[in-house]
Amino acid sequence: MTITRLLGFGVGICAFFCLFYMSEPGFVFLLDHTNLLFHEAGHPVVGLLSNRLEPYGGTIGQLVFPCVLAVSFWRKAEPLGVACAAVWFSENLFNIARYMADARSMALPLVGGGDHDWNTILSSWNLLRFDARIAGGLRVCGWVGIAVACGWVVYLAWRTRREQEDAVGLTLEQRL
């Protein structure tokens, strides 16, 4: 892990937090519009497999893409890419929590009208009255996910530096 890549990750995370805090709660404009595309694409894909699972398709769709990206970066041994994908996945949880907390009131505008996914899902599980509590837990999971991803990057940077120092130390000892 080079210092340039580490600085790039740090700048990217800072930019993300700036966007996050300047956006309306639970909706980062550029990122969540992208997530919305994946969400809407997930409905017909999952709907092809099962009408009963179709309401879950949107949430599955918006979570599967960061997971696929993380696996791709993992296979290429690019830990900063994995961390960025983990942050994206975790940020999705805020957006899902916003939608979930709206399950009873159904005040958020829906793309193309239709049913409110989380009203349908939570009603089917007889959990609609807990929409805000479950959403709150999901927000906590989002923060934990972001913290773990960033902490992992800090750990990897520390480990890389330590390995470099050990390699330099061995070289000096070999010279003596």
Which structure tokens are listed for 155? 């750990």
Confidence of residue 73 (pLDDT cuts 50, 70, 90): very high
Name the 3-class secondary structure at 39.
helix
CA distance linking residue 14 with residue 83, whole number of Å: 14
Count how many domains the chain has.
1
Dump pLDDT digits (tens) for 24-47. 877 888 888 999 999 999 999 999
Task: Confirm if 134 and 127 have CB atoms less than 8 A apart.
Answer: yes
Share of the chain above pLDDT 90, in %: 74
Q: What range defines the domain where residue 96 resides?
A: 3-175
Dump pLDDT digits (tens) for 53-62. 999 999 999 9
